[in-house]
C-alpha cells in the first residue's frame, strides 16, 4: 500500500515502493509509512484534502 498525492505525476519508469508516500511533478518518494498505520494515514490525508479544498471552493 502506497499513497500518491493529488496532482502528482508518476512517470511510467517510476517504481512505486510499498509503504511509501509519493508527491510532486514528477512524483518522487517523500516518506515511508509504517505498514501498521497505513489505513489511519490514508484516512487522515483524505480528510486533510477535504478540509483544504474548502479554502478554494469560491476561487473559480
Give residue 49's pLDDT.
84
Helices (H), 1-60: 38-53
For residues 12-28, average pLDDT:
96
- Calculate the dihedral angle through the C-alpha atoms of 49, 46, 10, 2, rounding to the nearest 10 degrees: 150
Going from the C-alpha of 12 to that of each of 7, 9, 27, the distances in angstroms are 16, 9, 11
Reported pTM: 0.74
Domain boundaries of the chain, sorted by first residue: 3-56
CA distance 31 to 55: 26
For residues 4-28, average pLDDT:
95
| Residue 11 confidence (pLDDT) above 70 | yes
Amino acid at each position: 500500500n502506497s499513497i500518491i498525492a493529488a496532482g502528482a505525476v508518476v512517470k511510467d519508469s517510476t517504481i512505486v515502493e510499498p509503504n511509501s508516500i509519493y508527491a510532486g511533478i514528477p512524483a518522487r518518494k517523500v516518506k515511508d509509512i509504517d505498514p501498521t498505520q497505513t489505513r489511519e494515514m490514508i484516512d487522515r490525508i483524505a480528510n486533510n484534502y477535504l478540509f483544504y479544498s474548502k479554502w478554494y471552493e469560491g476561487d473559480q
